[in-house]
Structure 1
Amino acid sequence: MRRAVVACLAAVAAVTLGVSSGGSAEAAPHTDVLHVAPDGHGTACTAQRPCSLDTARDQARKLVPGAEGDVVVELQGGTYRLTGPFRLGVQDSGRPGHPVVYQAAAGQNPVLTGAVKVTGFVKTDAEKDVYRAKIPAGAAGRELFVNGVRADRDRGTRDPSGFTVTATGFTTADPGYARWTDPARVEVVRNSGWKQMRCPLASIAPSASGGSNLTVDPACWNNNHSSVPNPGFPFNGAGLPTLDGITWLENAYQLLGTPGQFYIDQNAGYLYYVPRPGENLATADVELPVAPELVDASGTPGHLAPLNDTDWRAVYTGSWGYSGGRHLGDLNADVHYTSTDGDAVSYTFDGTGIQMLSESNGDEGSADVFIDGTKVSTVSGNGPVRLAQQAMVSVTGLSKGSHTLRVVKTGGSYLLVDGFTVIPDPIAPVHDITFSGITFQGATWTAPTAEGYVDNQAGVVWDPTTRAPARIPAAVQVHRGQRITFTGDTVTHTGTSGIDLADQTQDSTVAGSTITDTSGIGVAVGEVDDYYQTEPGLMTSGNTVSRTVVQFPGQEYADAVGIWVGHSRGTTLSHNDVGYTPYSGISIGWGWGWASDCTLQEKQGLPNPCLHGTTYAGDAHVVGNHVHSVMGALFDGGPIYTLGGQSAPSEFTGNVLSECIDGCNMIYHDEGSSLWETHDNVVRFGNGSLWTNLWTPSIHDDSIHDNYSDTAAYNNSGTGITFQQATVVSDGNWPAAALAIIKAAGPGTLPGSAVDDDDLRVAYTGSWSSSGSRGDGDLDNGVHYTQQNGAAATISFTGTGAAFFTETNSDEGDFGITLDGVSKGTASANTPQRHSRQTLWSISGLTDAPHTLTVTKLSGTYFLVDGFALS
């Protein structure tokens, strides 16, 4: 396609819309090309007279029906500053096999950003080195990036002492807090277990004893402390960490003073910042994200979620009963029921379809289904076991308008009504659109500022008002998409998640892309509240994330993961590099023990009799991923974490899982995980973690075999598990089969010249451990280390030069260097004080050919590997 574009540039200049000329009868269909630029205007959309992005979208919309090939919107390099999302609807779709392509011009880097550039800094506090700049009115962003590096909102001491929980928040004997200005902007942050919770304060006042009372916003305190949402399966598990302490306080002017931290005075419209060493605010690129979203590609309908049987539009005629507080897996723990034939429920709605949730069981019977007075089907709830929230009635394809569903009991002992899902619009995905070579950055999510952050798990939250499941929004959002492709794109520096394939998106792809430095999830796929779905067109299915680098997600919301997949069918996660995460690396599945039968739930010791239903999830392929340096802030996760049952087998193979920081299980099949074929994975540097953990009986019917691990510890308390202990390896002496897995994992060579100590190109022999989230200035905030003389680290590369960097300290000694089997002498890492990221050996002028560099510990207590630089 790029060749076609280049060949047609001369013809493009001659036509108003930039339409390339056709070739011979044997040539491929010609490509229509529209050109845009950051300062583009007018409607020509040619290379000489580029237009704006919105104008090109509108022109492409007109071209698609008559196009013979692709329609390409080519973006010139530069910064496109957005105040709101670039929106694409069904009308902006391409055609199967011929998408509308939004791509970077050859050799150029277009950047779509939702940030404003902040200038005009003046020093206002010489003692604390605080600078101030005016920001646009209403700018309420929570993030700041200086020269491409994330700054932190100013925060207090970690795990501050002296605070006691009260009925409304916290109290302390320290009177200083009561003197803080603008306390309603202050947030209290709590990391506990697998959750991060945030709440704004309502006030800070002097206490009767002379200290300070911190009153938390009452609604947020209720959601995060007093009455944490807890509907149970399929929405959340049994554990319930609460905001019962303070990990740190955030966003008060009085906390300023640490380089790289900022504070925004929204009332006065000022940004305050303390520069890092070497930052000159007169010339620095200071970017404040203000737009909530960058790209929104949406089909119809949007998000579908069931409404309860108590919804006001449901009219019950006859002798219906109501049962609440059942705790049997019903939506909102209640149902309407009748045992009388002829009793009916009617529901009038505006839309194109409707689904009714019921229950299946041996005492459930049949019912006739009518739409607008016409019988359309007879359905039955009869089944061998009780299953909650079953889509007993599903009607789609109606003309858009007002309709009435009527369901009449005709047989059996009972008819139950548990809920209704209205389909408001035609099922029409936005489809066949590609984004290629584009950088997206600078989006923000401001809702937590006023409402707090009410966490469930893995970047899935509770809506503070409705207490329904929700997710951190993404900078790039696809809602009900089909064949939407991201290839060679970058999403970075966001206060949101990265890319979200949401609302039953199908057959869409994120490939060869980079998602890094996001406040939320890197890539999200699927939903958490469509488990009951029976309509294939309303399922998340066929999506792929492959050969993509997802690093440093969760930089603001620490429960967020690198790649998250909810209920889905046929999802492929292949050869990705996922790393430096505060919680798990990849989280796939939802529902906990929902799809595990009642006997297994009872064996687990769950408090409710049985919350049991079904899911359409399954047929996942988690293959060849490198997941490393995980669990940097929270606990009870792992490099790859599965959750909930499946309706079809899935495979988990060829993955390399390494460098757990804390609170980890390396292969973690959690509650309800079933039908996983887990084999031929390599587990290393778990730092005391179990290589696999199947901790409870609701985990069932998994097959685990032919794996490799540098630790023998595991837990198999599942049911019906086919289990084989891993081949246990010591001192990095991996067998050939394991080495082949390591070589094949990940997306290939990562971009850039720096090679972190976690990189798969680095092989460790001898006794090594890893350490992450150190905060000592290491490359990517971690190192590998050894106390064993003779332990070595080897990197193989093709290039003309290399450098080795490490840490120096008084407890470190000498190391030897070997290049291509020839000794290059020794060097010392011993210094009186600690210094991080020190280049202690380098070479240049090599023949541009394959080389092998080895560094070997010779003396001292410790030897550290921080990374290499290649040229």
Structure 2
Amino acid sequence: MLLKNTKVRITWKFIGLMLISLFIFGLSGCADKPTFVPKELEDADSYMSVFYVSPSGDDANLGSYDAPFKTVAKAQEAIRAVNQNMTSDIAVVLREGTYSLSSSLKFTNVDGGTNGHNVKYMAYPDEEVNLSGGVKLGNWKNEGNNIYSTSVSAGFIRNLYVNGERATLARYPNGNTYATANEWDYENRIIRVYKDDLHGATDFEMVMYMEWSESLVNVDSVSIDGDIATLNLAPWEAEAMFIRRWHEFQYRDDMFCYFQNAIEFLDNPGEFYYDKPAGKLYYMPREGENLNTAEVIAPALTNVIRIEGTSSDEKVSNLAFEGLTVEYSAFSDIVDYGFIELQTGHYAMNRLSGASLGHDVPKGLVQVENAEYISLEYLTIRHSGGTGINFHSGVRHSSIRGCRVDDTSASGIIIAPFIDGVITNQNLYLPIDDDITCNHITISNNYITQAGVEFHRSAALVNVLGYQIEIANNEVAYSNYTGISNGWGWSLNEYVLKDNIITRNHVHHIGMMGNDLGGIYNLNNQPRSEITYNYIHEIGKTGMGLSPLAPADGIYLDEGTNNMVVSHNQIAYANENTRLILYHGAGEDIVEENNKGILQGDTLDQEIIAAAGVQGEYRTILEYLDRQDNSDIVLGIVYGNMVNDEAGLFGYKMKVNETAVLEGLGRYYLPGNHQEHTLTIYNENKEKIASCVVNMATDDKDMQNFVYADFKEPITLTEGEEYYLVSEEFEDGDWYLSNSSQMYLSEKFSVIGIARGENLTSVRNLNSVFVGIGLKLASSDQ
């Protein structure tokens, strides 16, 4: 269990003395076990009140250790009776188990601490506590053709999890392949596509990839004329798609797109579809899944935890949450608005005036509004249909520390989004009322991974319009768009943004489903702000936008960036390898110094690298620490476009500079990969030496994002000889890296060119590769 050790640390802080007492009195055979009350080690009387909650408890109980409440709501009720004039902290200790919620846990002004003291909700030591917004499904009926159904009564179901793995909303084309549009008709506000791509569907969603944004529209009806289908969009989507500013040049007739959420598209294992009128959910199991025993969960709640004060000037305060797992949320606004994206997860929700649209962002599993002195620590946030943690508006003097945020449809963490569709009576760039802003917030030592899983242009960690925001020592990894995005406004004017510090973060394997992005991306004038001492590497792009020239840089200083210090950043293996930092419409008052790039010939500062990312006791949140680390063999990879338009053998040619024993090979993982691939090594005479089969559906990736398999027996690579390493790829199958990608190996090996086809045709081009094939050496050779 990921948080097991961290929970011990958390709860020792609160219960140390009484654990000692329990040890003295004995834990077994004790007829009169003393009441278990958390205490601070340094102060036995540190808590004013303590309440216990357990799934096996009873709300008629007193909420003690021996007689816990059953629900958190009952603990809230008990707290409201004692928190009006607090003299010290109050604790709520949750016992092990899953708390399946029928409604969000809402914390308002009557739930917070008073007189500067906190109300704390925490997990019991060594126990896993899950707060779930999902509904378990069962009673599956075999419909034939490997499709099963179950009866469900729900307003909508857009996400589904089977044994903790996200399922795919039925779509065409399958996997990560894409169709193209046929024509944009501005005058009539309709889109034309190819009839055969719809498979007869008439009520569905269309998803379109643009340059820096992505849009999802609901299709109301379809008209067929020969091979062309005309899509008549829902009224709001038709309006928003065709009137919005700044996006016109992103439209073109052959735009990448796909179609989803219709039973006609349900044809691939791992896909599902919910027929609301019939009240039936259909699912096609993956290989090895048994629906009689599988845990199938449909997220139902928009928020699991919602912290919201009465108003911007009457804030809820002094709440802390520690050591809990918060999971399974849904995002319902698509039903009404579609998802017409402006940038980094902001979707259009109303029309303000002329071509100006109002926006919001997907709600969070943990949603915080009009609050202060809020602490989130050692939480696991996962399986969100929207955002992970959303500090939406009016939040100040708060912190997010030591949290693991994993598998979010939109951003992992977002601060102060541009919600001009929600707050319409103030200029959010220069608000009259400072109480609506987010400020004095610390986001440190968090691990944010797998962000933007559904809304692919959502940055992983975002500060939009917050000021005095410190983003420090976070690790942001394996996500689809920008790693850390800071700012909003595209202007050299001074707005609310100021005094924001982005420092000592570790950002890597970013841009896996996007382009026009950066490891760290910045917008607008931000006096006294800094981007310093960050370690950024493996920043790629996939060519899913319109222009192959769209950038993917280690640091991207976009329009209006000014009055900042950008220094001592260490950058390795970014897609744009001819420059260290991209300036695009930035100002002249930027101090840039002592930044280093490995592809620019610099030697990176190892002390800065070691100090970047999650530090100290917080490192226990990193889920990959037990993964194999081959970073001394595969130094880095720069991925260009993702392709799957050809089948056959693809890879590269390599020269061995030092004899080594090779135990197996690995294939680079890209989003949506799920097939098996045979990896083979040939000698320079094109004779097969060894092969292995990797299963890309496995989670067993190494720290460089490769999935490995072993040969039947190790082989010896001889110094001075050349070898071909190839993977068997499939047309319209798993994405693989195109030959615009590069891979850098240790000095023991040299990549000397791409290789492809049955004849292993090689083109000499140093470091260029197809696919990305890693080397697993015997431990003595590493």
Asked if TM exceeds 0.5, the reply is: yes
Matched with 1:740 is 607
CA contact (8 A) 1:519 1:556 kept: yes
Give the distance between the partners of 1:553 and 1:476, measured in 2 at CA.
Answer: 15
Matched with 2:3 is none
Give the TM-score taking structure 1 as reference length.
Answer: 0.68
CA contact (8 A) 1:767 1:786 kept: no
| Unpaired stretches in structure 1, ≥5 consecutive residues | 231-236, 303-426, 597-612, 713-727, 777-782, 795-802, 816-827, 844-853
Q: Secondary structure at the match of 2:83?
A: helix
Matched with 2:709 is 839
* 1:162 CA displacement: 7.0
Matched with 1:559 is 457
Match of 1:132 among 126, 133, 149: 149
Matched with 1:170 is 191
Give the distance between the partners of 1:76 and 1:832, measured in 2 at CA.
Answer: 46
* 1:55 CA displacement: 0.9
Q: Could you give the per-residue CA deviations for residues 502-529 of structure 1, whole angstroms, max 9, x where no partner exists?
A: 2121111111110110111111111435
Matched with 1:227 is 243
CA contact (8 A) 1:454 1:464 kept: no
> Structure 1 814/109 Cα, relative in aligned 2: closer, same or farther at 3 Å?
farther
Matched with 2:431 is 533
CA contact (8 A) 2:570 2:595 kept: yes
Matched with 1:435 is 321
* 1:584 CA displacement: 0.6
Q: Secondary structure at the match of 1:449?
A: helix
Query: Is 1:288 aligned to 2:298, yes or no?
Result: yes
Q: Secondary structure at the match of 1:615?
A: coil
> Structure 1 767/70 Cα, relative in aligned 2: closer, same or farther at 3 Å?
closer
Matched with 1:263 is 273
* 1:555 CA displacement: 0.9
Q: Secondary structure at the match of 2:139?
A: coil
Query: Is 1:592 aligned to 2:490, yes or no?
Result: yes
Matched with 2:81 is 62
Matched with 1:155 is 171
Matched with 2:113 is 94
**Mapping of residues 336-735 of structure 1, within 5 Å:** 427-464=313-350, 466=352, 467-528=357-418, 530-533=428-431, 536-593=434-491, 596=492, 614-646=494-526, 648-662=527-541, 663-689=551-577, 691-712=579-600, 728-729=601-602, 734-735=603-604
> Structure 1 173/651 Cα, relative in aligned 2: closer, same or farther at 3 Å?
closer
Give the distance between the partners of 2:133 and 2:360, measured in 1 at CA.
Answer: 23
* 1:84 CA displacement: 1.9
Q: Secondary structure at the match of 1:198?
A: strand
Q: Could you give the per-residue CA deviations for residues 805-830 of structure 1, whole angstroms, max 9, x where no partner exists?
A: 62485663599xxxxxxxxxxxx984
Give the distance between the partners of 1:539 and 1:676, measured in 2 at CA.
Answer: 21
Give the distance between the partners of 2:413 and 2:193, measured in 1 at CA.
Answer: 40
Matched with 1:190 is 208
CA contact (8 A) 2:478 2:508 kept: yes
> Structure 1 179/704 Cα, relative in aligned 2: closer, same or farther at 3 Å?
same
Matched with 2:138 is 119
CA contact (8 A) 1:499 1:524 kept: yes
> Structure 1 104/703 Cα, relative in aligned 2: closer, same or farther at 3 Å?
same
Matched with 2:250 is 241
Give the distance between the partners of 2:40 and 2:507, measured in 1 at CA.
Answer: 47
Matched with 1:812 is 681
Give the distance between the partners of 1:243 and 1:448, measured in 2 at CA.
Answer: 24
Give the distance between the partners of 1:65 and 1:275, measured in 2 at CA.
Answer: 52
Between the aligned residues of both structures, percent identity stands at: 22
Give the distance between the partners of 1:14 and 1:468, measured in 2 at CA.
Answer: 64
Matched with 2:736 is none
Q: Secondary structure at the match of 2:562?
A: coil
Matched with 1:251 is 261
* 1:470 CA displacement: 1.3
| Unpaired stretches in structure 2, ≥5 consecutive residues | 1-10, 23-29, 421-427, 542-550, 645-649, 668-676, 697-706, 714-745, 756-768
* 1:122 CA displacement: 2.1
* 1:204 CA displacement: 1.9
* Residue identity opposite 1:566 in structure 2: V
Give the distance between the partners of 2:126 and 2:349, measured in 1 at CA.
Answer: 43
Give the distance between the partners of 1:492 and 1:784, measured in 2 at CA.
Answer: 35
CA contact (8 A) 2:400 2:444 kept: yes
* 1:581 CA displacement: 1.9
* 1:299 CA displacement: 1.6
Matched with 1:218 is 235
Please tell me whether Structure 1 or Structure 2 has the larger radius of gyration of its CA atoms.
Answer: 1
Q: Secondary structure at the match of 1:506?
A: strand
Q: Secondary structure at the match of 1:711?
A: helix
- Greater alpha carbon shift after TM alignment, 628-637 vs 22-31: 22-31
* Residue identity opposite 1:806 in structure 2: G
CA contact (8 A) 2:533 2:567 kept: yes
* 1:486 CA displacement: 0.8
CA contact (8 A) 1:656 1:741 kept: yes
Give the distance between the partners of 1:297 and 1:581, measured in 2 at CA.
Answer: 27
Give the TM-score taking structure 2 as reference length.
Answer: 0.75
Q: Could you give the per-residue CA deviations for residues 716-739 of structure 1, whole angstroms, max 9, x where no partner exists?
A: xxxxxxxxxxxx33xxxx35xx11
Give the distance between the partners of 1:555 and 1:766, measured in 2 at CA.
Answer: 26
CA contact (8 A) 2:183 2:252 kept: no
- Greater alpha carbon shift after TM alignment, 806-815 vs 259-268: 806-815
* 1:178 CA displacement: 7.4
**What is the aligned length?**
654
Give the distance between the partners of 1:60 and 1:867, measured in 2 at CA.
Answer: 56
**Mapping of residues 748-763 of structure 1, within 5 Å:** 748=615, 749=619, 751=621, 754=624, 763=631
Give the distance between the partners of 1:868 and 1:490, measured in 2 at CA.
Answer: 34
Q: Secondary structure at the match of 1:284?
A: coil
* 1:265 CA displacement: 0.7
Matched with 2:220 is 202
Q: Secondary structure at the match of 2:451?
A: coil
CA contact (8 A) 1:29 1:68 kept: no
* 1:58 CA displacement: 1.7
> Structure 1 2/96 Cα, relative in aligned 2: closer, same or farther at 3 Å?
farther
* 1:75 CA displacement: 0.8
- Greater alpha carbon shift after TM alignment, 860-869 vs 626-635: 860-869
> Structure 1 478/786 Cα, relative in aligned 2: closer, same or farther at 3 Å?
farther
Q: Secondary structure at the match of 2:178?
A: coil
CA contact (8 A) 2:571 2:580 kept: no
> Structure 1 616/633 Cα, relative in aligned 2: closer, same or farther at 3 Å?
same
Q: Could you give the per-residue CA deviations for residues 417-464 of structure 1, whole angstroms, max 9, x where no partner exists?
A: xxxxxxxxxx12211111101111111011113321111101122214
CA contact (8 A) 2:306 2:368 kept: yes
Q: Secondary structure at the match of 2:110?
A: helix
* 1:859 CA displacement: 9.6
CA contact (8 A) 2:403 2:621 kept: no
**Mapping of residues 328-339 of structure 1, within 5 Å:** none
* Residue identity opposite 2:192 in structure 1: T
Q: Could you give the per-residue CA deviations for residues 482-507 of structure 1, whole angstroms, max 9, x where no partner exists?
A: 11111110110110101111212111
* 1:47 CA displacement: 1.9
- Greater alpha carbon shift after TM alignment, 37-46 vs 429-438: 37-46
CA contact (8 A) 1:440 1:475 kept: yes
CA RMSD of aligned residues (A): 3.9
Give the distance between the partners of 2:641 and 2:327, measured in 1 at CA.
Answer: 24
> Structure 1 299/762 Cα, relative in aligned 2: closer, same or farther at 3 Å?
farther
Q: Secondary structure at the match of 1:524?
A: strand
Give the distance between the partners of 2:777 and 2:396, measured in 1 at CA.
Answer: 40
- Greater alpha carbon shift after TM alignment, 190-199 vs 744-753: 744-753
> Structure 1 542/557 Cα, relative in aligned 2: closer, same or farther at 3 Å?
same
> Structure 1 84/771 Cα, relative in aligned 2: closer, same or farther at 3 Å?
same
Match of 2:91 among 72, 78, 81: 72
